[in-house]
Amino acid sequence: MTEQETRSPDASQDAPVLLVVGSGHRPYREYILAAVSKHYRLWLLDSAEATWQMAHCAGATKVDTRDAEAVREAALSLVDLLPVVGVFTYDESQVVFCARLAQSLGLPGSPPETISACRDKATTRSLLAAAGVPQPASRTVASAEDALAAADEIGYPVIVKARAMAGSAGVIRVERAEDVAAAFASADGTDALGLARHEENVLVEEFLTGPEISIDAIIHDGVVTPTVLARKRLGPEPYFVETGHDVDADDPLLHDEELLDQLREIHRALGFVHGATHSEFKLTPNGPRLVEVNARLGGDLIPYLGLLASGADPTVAAAHVAAGHKPDTAPEFRKVASVRFLPPEERCEVVEVLVHEDRFGPTIRETAVTTRPGSRLALPPDTFLTRYAHIVAVGDDRAQVLADLEEPERLIELRARALSD
């Protein structure tokens, strides 16, 4: 275990301290540390030596975050020295441990069993069904034979997915009985972020029709407040790879009582007290139906889009509830913010990525290239999260924002060599 210390560039040296467990991939997560460090001194606990993170942290401890006891010991040593007010994470692999850590330190949070229930999609379904929340038909299975029996019972098409993964990894739509075994093998073999496996490791579920959305929310003293509603864009079937999100601070769904009542009931049934969540819904002909709920901030820059669209920062709100404070989530303005992620069209080796600024429309705000020459890019089912760049647009006119992002591959061009092996 090693420690690094610096002077926090933003928060006062007298500011309270948040322990941050895990930091994530810089292109998608640095904005969180940058925002929260303006309100709290951050001390990072992470498996790798802190580098770019130190621009936003008062200090860092290198510790194996897979070793719960080692992280607990590191946290206890810091609590004795610093005014620690909360444990904060946005890392899916750390949410359960951080709930246990907050509880053991007497800091704000939700019960660890609540967070565990979100990590295990089968437990989520069971608890919500018992509470009367409408659910798609769902079966846990341990073999391809069990998966086939479940699919035949539910009726095609079905969704086959890993029970405890994240980021749409291992999620496949299956149309025919003869494709179930391959889908089961893909879902069962998915390994993302070192997340837990179960003996019955795969779910077979009813396929829900309708557009998909996500709602980021904060919970303070059991009260659920939405912070961002995003309309999701997906890549080609049969997979559910996310290729973009559209956030409108004036979205009428933010006032849809059926959706909001269901969101509140879901959190009540799971036992949330304090924290931040990212819930995904399908808007079916029979009403909203939960796909899954995650006990963390949304990924894919969704909270950042919320900030750009409304001026209210969901990441800071999440940090405040981690410290036990009720945040102000009122919007300062109402705009539309969108992101597009650019996956390769085939398995390839990157030659170069060109950003064509001369083709940008008026609402294009920023771009990021997230690969480098020589990198190899694959497609599902080999990998479920391959992108070479992303682009963000913000504006007052929804139609203009969407038009400016209509052909993102023209704005950021991938030049690559196809791979056959």
| pLDDT, position 168 | 61
DSSP conformational letter for 381: T
pLDDT grade, residue 198 (50/70/90)? low
Q: Where are the alpha helices (DSSP H) in 37-163?
A: 68-79, 95-105, 112-119, 121-130, 144-154
* pTM given for the model: 0.93
Flag the least confident range among 5-19, 309-323, 334-348: 5-19
| pLDDT, position 186 | 86
Q: Any bridge partners for residue 341, and if so which? A: 390
Look at the domain 137-206 and name its fold.
Answer: Dna Ligase; domain 1 (3.30.1490)
Q: What is the per-residue pLDDT across 26-36, written as a single tens digit (0 to 9) for each?
A: 999 999 999 99
Residue 327 has pLDDT above 80, yes or no: yes
CA distances for 210 relative to 114, 282, 284, angstroms: 28, 6, 5
Q: Please tell me the class of the 338-421 domain.
A: alpha beta
Q: So what's the architecture of 209-334 in CATH?
A: 2-Layer Sandwich (3.30)
In 3D space, the residue among 338, 225, 304 whose CA is nearest the CA of residue 24 turns out to be: 304
Residue % of the chain over a pLDDT of 90: 85
| pLDDT, position 383 | 79
| pLDDT, position 256 | 97
The arrangement of strands across the sheet holding 158-162 comes to 138-141, 202-206, 158-162, 172-174
- In whole angstroms, what separates CA 355 from the centre of its chain? 27
Residue 4 has pLDDT above 90, yes or no: no
Rounded-to-integer distance, Cα 207 and Cα 284, Å: 10
Reading the block at residue 71, the tokens are: 């992280």
| pLDDT, position 282 | 97
Residue 5 has pLDDT above 80, yes or no: no
Residue 1 has pLDDT above 70, yes or no: no
158-162 and 84-88 strand pairing: unpaired
Indicate the helix (H) or strand (E) that contains 265: helix 257-270
In 3D space, the residue among 351, 344, 361, 355 whose CA is nearest the CA of residue 411 turns out to be: 355
Give exposure, 58-70, as e/b (b: 16+ Cβ within 10 Å): bbbbbbebeeeee
Residue 192 has pLDDT above 60, yes or no: no
pLDDT grade, residue 197 (50/70/90)? low
Q: What is the per-residue pLDDT across 328-343, written as a single tens digit (0 to 9) for each?
A: 999 999 999 999 999 9
Cα R_g (the chain), whole angstroms:
21
| pLDDT, position 148 | 96
Parse the chain into domains and list their residue ranges.
9-107, 137-206, 209-334, 338-421
Q: What angle do CA 421, 370, 389 make, to 5 degrees?
A: 90
Mean pLDDT score of the chain? 93
Helices 26-36, 314-322: crossing angle, 10 deg rounding: 60
Backbone φ and ψ for 245, nearest 5 degrees, come out as -145, 140
Rounded-to-integer distance, Cα 60 and Cα 2, Å: 8
In 3D space, the residue among 227, 228, 230 whose CA is nearest the CA of residue 243 turns out to be: 230
Q: So what's the architecture of 9-107 in CATH?
A: 3-Layer(aba) Sandwich (3.40)
Rounded-to-integer distance, Cα 149 and Cα 158, Å: 12
| Cβ atoms of 212 and 291 closer than 8 Å | yes
In 3D space, the residue among 89, 85, 57, 37 whose CA is nearest the CA of residue 276 turns out to be: 89
- In whole angstroms, what separates CA 130 from the centre of its chain? 26
Q: Enumerate residues 6+ apart whose C-beta is below 8 A from 377.
A: 343, 344, 347, 348, 349, 350, 371, 386, 388, 416
Residue 78 has pLDDT above 80, yes or no: yes
Q: What is the per-residue pLDDT across 260-318, written as a single tens digit (0 to 9) for each?
A: 999 999 999 999 999 999 999 999 999 999 999 999 999 999 999 999 999 999 999 99
DSSP conformational letter for 403: H
Largest CA distance in the chain: 63
Mean pLDDT, rounded, for 123-149: 95
